[in-house]
Amino acid sequence: MDQKMTQNCCFFSKSSRSVIEYLGALSSNQLDSLTTLCDTFVPSIHDANSYGHQDQGNIDDNEDSYTKFLQTSASMNGTPQHIAWMINNRLQHPKLNLCKLALWLLSTRIGTFILCGKASLSTQFPYLQTFSNISPKKREESVKSWATSCFKLLRILFFAAKILVLLVFYTQVNDESQNSSWKALGYAGPDPDFKKQKQENMNSNEKDDQPFGPLYEGIISLKNSQKIIFHRLQELGFSVSKPHNFKNARRSTECPAFIIECDAVVVGSGSGGGVIAGILANAGHKVLVLEKGSYLARTNLSLLEGTSMDQMYLGSGLLITQDMDIMLLAGSTVGGGSTVNWSASIQTPQHVLKEWSESYNLELFESELYKEAMKIVCEKMGVQSEIEDEGFQNMILRKGCQELGYPVETIPTNAPSDHYCGWCSMGCKDGKKKGTAETWLVNLVKSGNGAILPECEALEVIHEEKNDNSGKSKAIGVAFAFQNIEGMREICMVKSKVTIVACGALSTPSLLKRSGLKNPNIGRNLHLHPVVIAWGYFPDSPSTSNEIWPKAEKKSYEGGIMTAMSKVVANFEGSGYGALIQTPGLHPGMFSALMPWVSGLDFKMRMSKYSRTAYIFALARDKGSGEALSPYSVSYKLDQIDEENLKAGLEKTLRILAAAGAEEIGTQQEKGRSLKVNEASAKEFERFVKEESSIEIGKHSVPICSAHQMGSCRMGVDPKTSVVNSKGETWEVEGLFLGDSSVCPTAIGVNPMVTIQAISYCTAQSVLQLLKNQKNAPSDHYCGWNAFGCKDGKKKGTADTWLVDLVKSGNGAILPECEALEVIHEEKNDNSGKHKAIGVTFAFQNIEGMREICMVKSKVTIVSCGALSTPSLLKKSGLKNPNIGRNMHFHPVVFAWGYFPDSPSKSNEIWPEAEKRSYEGGIMTAMSKVVATFEGSGYGAIIQTPGFHPGMFSALMPWVSGLDIKMRMSKYSRTAYIFALARDMGSGEALSPYSVSYKLDQTDEENLKAGLEKTLRILAAAGAEELVLNMKRGGV
């Protein structure tokens, strides 16, 4: 297999493995130890009849599949080779070398004695055996002892080996995408309806782009030739160039293969980045999205658990904390977590908003903007709370709660009521689940202003120091790496006006640190929403009842994954910190990784019950926190309060399962205890529930999972305690925004998708404002004639932006040289006294020079003639509101000037340079807020520069005599004007553009005088030889 195929293949696919791939991963001795370890966890059991069938689960009518399942060992399926390949190509963890060391030790006699103790002893010379030579029974006992060992490293070894072996064995597939154990488990594999749909599409001759997903036109594959990549980007309006050779470049990021220019670059396309990208693109800005994961949409999906984890999850779904105590799941595909989550769409709870607003002083979270944001994102996702047919696990949760009198409610989802699908964690086969790849990113693509580059990795945010002595820097883009068409690594750069990082709470901190940000809060305050799970078995042939419930055709892995929840221990009305009770979506691989392992036979018996086993979990809003140095280096400490809340939740889940009718219940505690509910007395039941829910959580005793990570770059009002401000902008780097779950001030306590989207919506408004405030011309736009129009279109007024969109849309036209006469409106028939606009009449001069009057009839009318002309049009139209034309503000301006001769009288230095002229260059690029009082009353004056050509210059220059004005005008090209502009409290009235009155407020006058004083001082300090005010007496 060539290098390119090896890198692109999926480790769960048997057909893509070859012996060559394992070379370099493990030695032959290590592989031998691994093979023996795999067969200890998944042994071949030939004498199945001697164990009896009374406790078997889903035996098919043809028992051959069950017998084959029992007799198939891990090595018979090639599981050890798969794991060896993963160790070499996929796994990244600080303790990976310890696992390799353990495999080497198990290949030696002394090492086996160290790890297995007396089990390795033999009565024959040399009296010590290697792991592979120990009897199967003793191997099993040794491995089981690791799970409860007092030595932490042995517990870690057991935990890691168990997860890897079982997850791979139950997810690996053959050339027909089948697994030999699935039939015995009662598992269908990929959604049968989906397989049928794919086959129909293959057999159809009709061309249909819909299966490729709605983003197809905006996706640019970097595995194309550079020529195609350039062409596609340029087609979408992006500037692409090859840089000059960087001979003195010290880092690879300083000499990129090519440079892309845009208004905004967004790193990440999930619930945060996708929202921001869609909003910015819809507003007319050029947006480039960089996504580490691939784009898999609709019929491109496999709906195979192992393949999906490899292709759509960070770290191939095998992330775990440094102490290997908590399993972490995070999406890594176009659409991020919103593509693979379980559809729950819960708004930020009110007590959380109150805490963020009052305890963290973040006014955003009790603002109208945030309320609007939640409403908009929910509407965008089509969030609703109806269910036509509830799935197996949620039926059980709902019934158990109702039987016990616990509160239970329906979870709002971003899928329609008939969305009976249990494969949502592998993508949405029909696009009904409205993640960002089906909503906000569709806006990006349809706007014509955006593109998505999948399968590329952001290396660092590029920023440069500002020239204002603030010590801050400004983001100017992102360097990223990708694998080109030849399989080689290339590095490119995106230059942008603003940069948005939205890689998720596990990845954003490491990108910021690689980029040189020093804020000590980066990566800290990480919250995980820790989860502990209980299970209950509901056979399709009950032992004590004739009623089969849930119905026999119901399977645990089918139906809406998350539609019911209980807040019985959520404590929303108290401290706000408690636990929610919900259901997960578990397919055989993850089910096996979480189920306790006691022995090879016991585990296969548990797995045979898979399709009728319900999982229910408790999710804590955690006070405890950790740190994310990278996705592969995460530390976390469970707070005592969180552990108590999880224990309380675990107790409730066991009671709920029993109340719903489970015949057997248990938890994930590694001793693997369970209780036959119908055979137990009330006292035995109570003792079991209390004991199982009081065992210490974590430390490899009761496994913890996390699918929600947040808070690692939290929002706040002080850089000493936070990473970003309330606008989402980093304290250190201007123009660098964060837009993902990392900005959450604390844990949220509910599924975070709506909250992340709402915060990101608000952040997008801040980004839009920043882009609006920036100059609407490129940095090389050295032009002083902007007041006469833009000769090259580089200044982006509406005629070069929004009106271009109007024309390109094919839905608009512009009529110049016509004058609106009045708005036509007619009285409504609802007795309200109000009128309804129905159009506008306008006048123009026809081809013969005659005046003609026409009418436009419209559904809505927008008047946008400016503050001087709009009032008169409204009055001509018969509107009577007395406020029309009043309260007009002017931003009054006063000027001072300074003369900078090109032959100074007191210095040999000519400054500015002799070739510089007052009327050339960017008109307005610098300003001072020295008397602006933004932090005080908000009413003051800013200091800026105008663009004056001779006519306006002469009109404003004081006239003392004819000779004097000509002498002053002779200095025109080296005279600098600076003005003070007041935010005025005074106001006036505009009856028409030709009838305007205005009264300057005393406060405004004082502010202008203060500004005028500063302008004179500034000119003098800059080296002016002559100063003057624009006063009648023309004093110099």
Catalytic residues: 708
Q: Which two tokens stand for residue 511?
A: 């990108």
Is cis: bond before 542, omega within 30 of 0?
no
Instruction: State the DSSP code for 19.
Output: G
Asked if residue 886 lies in contact with residue 989, where contact means CB atoms within 8 angstroms, the answer is yes
Q: Which residue has the tokens 């840089």?
A: 243
CA distance 749 to 579: 8
Single-letter amino acid, residue 447: S
Query: Distance of CA 531 to CAs 220, 323, 400, 696, Å?
Result: 38, 17, 20, 14
Euclidean distance between CA atoms 763 and 373, whole angstroms: 10
| Helix, strand, or coil (residue 665) | strand
Single out the residue of 70, 73, 180 nearest to residue 605, CA to CA: 70
DSSP string for residues in 739-808 = -SGGG-SS--SS--HHHHHHHHHHHHHHHHHHHHHS-SS-TT---S-GGG--SSS-S--GGGTHHHHHHH
- 3-class SS at 362? coil
Residues 6+ positions from 121 with CB-CB distance below 8 Å? 113, 127, 128, 129
Q: Is 793 in contact with 800 (CB distance < 8 Å)?
A: yes
Are 331 and 338 contacting, i.e. CB atoms less than 8 angstroms apart? Answer: yes
Hey, what's the torsion of the CAs at 1022, 1024, 1030, 1035, to 10 degrees?
130
**Residue 813 CB coordination number (10 Å):** 6
Q: Give the integer Cα–Cα distance in Å for 726 and 745.
A: 10
CA distance 697 to 645: 11
Residues 565, 580 contacting (CB under 8 angstroms): yes
Distance (Å, rounded) from C-alpha 948 to C-alpha 349? 56
Answer left, alpha or beta for residue 584, where phi above 0 means left and psi between -120 and 50 means alpha: beta
**Residue 262, token pair as written in the block:** 């845009």
CA distance 72 to 607: 14
Q: Is the distance from CB of 523 to CB of 286 less than 8 angstroms?
A: no
User: Tokens 């005088």 identify what position?
Assistant: 1009
Longest Cα–Cα distance of the chain, Å, equals 123
d(CA 521, CA 810): 50
- For residue 8, give the nearest of 253, 294, 237 by alpha carbon: 294
Question: Cβ(741)–Cβ(751) under 8 Å?
Answer: no
The type of residue at 117 is G
CA distances from 837 to 211, 864, 867 (A): 44, 15, 20
Q: DSSP states of 811-850 as a string?
A: S-----SEEEEEEEEEE-SSSS--EEEEEEEEEEE-TTS-
Alpha helices by DSSP H, 389-439 = 392-404
Q: Are 163 and 705 in contact (CB under 8 A)?
A: no
Distance CA 670, CA 325 (A): 13
